[in-house]
Amino acid sequence: MRAAALQGADLAGFDLRMAYLSSADLSHAYLFEANLSETNFQGANLSHCCLIGSNLQQAYLADANLYHAYLSQANLTEAYFGHANLAKANLADSVIKQAYFGQADVKEADFSSANYLEPMQLRLARNCEWAMGDLGVLKPKP
């Protein structure tokens, strides 16, 4: 389903494991508790998408737009977010074990109460000084 137009679609609880959704438009889609493990979302538009409680284990989200996406309580174990836009995304209470954020924009992303998030995971992310976490909003470097 390369470049599929699924904006606003209600796919709650769907099993899309290992789907190929590269460049798909899923903006404003409802994927609550969907199984998206090992799914390819390279270059996909997931802005304002509801992914609460979804399984994105080992999902490939390189260059994806997740601006203001709701990823709280999601399983993001080993997900790849290289060069993704996660600005203002909500990742609160999600499992972020071994996820990769290299060159991802995490400005104002909410990582509060995220499970298994190691500071090293965000070392290559852009705007991580503006991300929110358990210690509150981090101040930008002078």
Which stretch of 54-58, 119-123, 133-137 has the lowest confidence by average pLDDT?
133-137
- Evaluate whether 112 touches 89 at the Cβ level (below 8 Å): no
Nearest to 66 by CA among 93, 31, 97, 38: 31
Q: Using CA atoms, how far apart are residues 63 and 85, in angstroms rounded to an integer? A: 7
6 token code pair: 């699924």
Res. 139: pLDDT tops 50: no
Global pTM?
A: 0.90
- Percentage of the chain beyond pLDDT 90 is 82
pLDDT in tens, 110-123: 999 999 998 889 88
